[in-house]
């Protein structure tokens, strides 16, 4: 009996210890869970982006066609490649703002281009087609001698004589950078440089080269000139830029002649032109622009003449090689075009 009472007390005692231990334990607080919510960043005012550079293409004469259009298109493409701004304007200096421009490309003759550069030392100028203009630190000159169309005419005459049987050749001269008489002289000089007197061996016997100058705005004048050349058995005809522009507005029969031209042939001459004798304006303009971007100062960029063969069956590789050799001598000053440059003045 006593042993039972002792056992009961032990059981109660153990149960009490268990209860005290359970009540004395304190649960540890859980560590806070890291939040994935990002903290808002403090807003910092951003700087206003700088506008892209702006090129102003300025011509005193219309730039819809001819070499001015080619230069403007080259500069515009160059600016587009770099996401730059460009603007084309024509007319006198009044009303033209240079304030927002980074570079001004002037297509001659722009009056007082040299004074403009002097009056805007923070601007860079590239002048094209300004005879006698001298470069400055902020003025580059493309073609310091101007657009020597007499060189184009001389090479066209030489090439025409080179590829034409019995030298039955002629030219139609339209308004250009030089007087028509000077271009006719240069063309004849190129012909004679190859064949001397150029007398045909077989009839009909005419004196070559034949030449016709376009004087007015009569749309039929071009057709009349070509008919006159055809009546004198002319086989190859050179058209300067002015004549080409005049001919573009007319539907002419191209197949009657072989053609040498001074610019990209228009649609009516497609497949009929033998060669192009032109100024390499694109490379000169791009070189001047790249030099400016690289931080270079103004300098003179010679305006080269290039020959592009369009019909290799007529202008064979051997003939082309000879023509290029003569062209190199012409550009080096070893050959005279026959034109007295001291008496020349650009046509208005």
Question: Residues 65, 159: one domain?
Answer: no
38 within some domain: no
Give the pLDDT score at 45: 58
Burial letters 218-236, b for 16+ CB under 10 A, else e: eeebbeebbeebbeebbbb
14 within some domain: no
State how far the Cα of 107 lies from the Cα of 116, in Å rounded to an integer.
Answer: 14
- pLDDT (tens digit per residue) in 43-85: 655 666 778 889 999 988 878 778 999 999 999 999 999 999 9
Give the pLDDT score at 21: 45
| Exposed/middle/buried for residue 67 (C-beta within 10 Å: 0-12, 13-18, 19+) | buried
Question: Residues 60, 171: one domain?
Answer: no
Q: What share of the chain is helix, strand, coil (3-state, %, to 5)?
A: 40, 15, 45
pTM: 0.81
State how far the Cα of 42 lies from the Cα of 46, in Å rounded to an integer.
Answer: 12
72 within some domain: yes
Give the pLDDT score at 208: 94
Question: Residues 134, 101: one domain?
Answer: yes
| Exposed/middle/buried for residue 24 (C-beta within 10 Å: 0-12, 13-18, 19+) | exposed
93 within some domain: yes
Question: Residues 181, 220: one domain?
Answer: yes
State how far the Cα of 242 lies from the Cα of 277, in Å rounded to an integer.
Answer: 14
Question: Residues 194, 133: one domain?
Answer: no
Give the pLDDT score at 290: 95
Give the pLDDT score at 1: 44
Q: Which domain holds residue 69?
A: 54-142
Give the pLDDT score at 306: 96
165 within some domain: yes
Average pLDDT by consecutive 10-residue portion of the chain (348 residues)?
A: 45 45 47 54 63 89 84 94 90 77 90 86 92 92 92 98 95 90 96 92 92 81 90 95 78 76 84 94 95 92 95 96 98 95 58
- pLDDT (tens digit per residue) in 190-240: 999 999 888 898 899 999 999 998 987 677 888 889 999 999 999 999 999
Beta strands in 166-325 (DSSP E): 169-173, 210-213, 236-239, 258-261, 273-279, 300-301, 305-309
20 within some domain: no
Question: Residues 100, 123: one domain?
Answer: yes
Give the pLDDT score at 22: 44
Q: What CATH number has the domain bearing residue 65?
A: 3.40.50.2300
Question: Residues 118, 207: one domain?
Answer: no
Provide the residue count of the chain: 348
Question: Residues 88, 176: one domain?
Answer: no
| Last-in-domain residue among 142, 176, 206 | 142
| Last-in-domain residue among 111, 142, 173 | 142
Question: Residues 189, 329: one domain?
Answer: yes
Question: Residues 237, 188: one domain?
Answer: yes
Question: Residues 174, 312: one domain?
Answer: yes
Look at the chain and report how many structural domains it folds into.
2
Question: Residues 73, 203: one domain?
Answer: no
């Amino acid at each position: 009996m006593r042993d039972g009472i002792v056992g009961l007390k032990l059981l109660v005692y153990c149960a009490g210890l268990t209860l005290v231990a359970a009540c004395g334990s304190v649960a540890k607080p859980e560590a806070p869970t890291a939040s994935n919510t990002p903290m808002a960043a403090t807003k910092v005012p951003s700087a206003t982006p700088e506008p892209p550079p702006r090129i102003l293409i300025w011509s005193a004469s219309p730039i819809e066609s001819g070499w001015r259009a080619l230069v403007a298109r080259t500069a515009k493409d160059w600016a587009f490649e770099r996401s730059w701004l460009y603007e084309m304007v024509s007319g006198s200096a009044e009303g033209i703002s240079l304030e927002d421009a980074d570079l001004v490309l002037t297509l001659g003759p722009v009056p007082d281009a040299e004074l403009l550069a002097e009056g805007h030392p923070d601007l860079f100028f590239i002048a094209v087609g300004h005879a006698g203009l001298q470069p400055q630190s902020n003025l580059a000159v493309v073609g310091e001698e101007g657009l020597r169309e007499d060189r184009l005419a001389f090479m066209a005459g030489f090439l025409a004589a080179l590829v034409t049987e019995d030298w039955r050749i002629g030219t139609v001269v339209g308004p250009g950078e030089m007087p028509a008489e000077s271009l006719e002289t240069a063309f004849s000089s190129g012909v004679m440089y190859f064949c001397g007197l150029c007398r045909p061996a077989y009839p009909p016997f005419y004196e070559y080269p034949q030449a016709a100058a376009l004087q007015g705005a009569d749309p039929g004048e071009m057709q009349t000139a070509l008919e006159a050349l055809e009546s004198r058995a002319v086989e190859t005809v050179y058209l300067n830029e002015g004549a080409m522009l005049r001919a573009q507005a007319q539907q002419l029969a191209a197949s009657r002649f072989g053609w040498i031209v001074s610019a990209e042939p228009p649609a009516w001459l497609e497949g009929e032109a033998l060669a192009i004798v032109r100024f390499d304006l694109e490379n000169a303009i791009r070189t001047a622009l790249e030099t400016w971007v690289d931080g270079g100062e103004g300098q003179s960029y010679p305006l080269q003449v290039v020959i592009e063969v369009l019909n290799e069956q007529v202008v064979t590789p051997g003939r082309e090689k000879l023509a290029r050799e003569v062209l190199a001598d012409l550009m080096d000053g070893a050959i005279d075009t026959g034109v007295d440059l001291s008496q020349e003045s650009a046509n208005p």
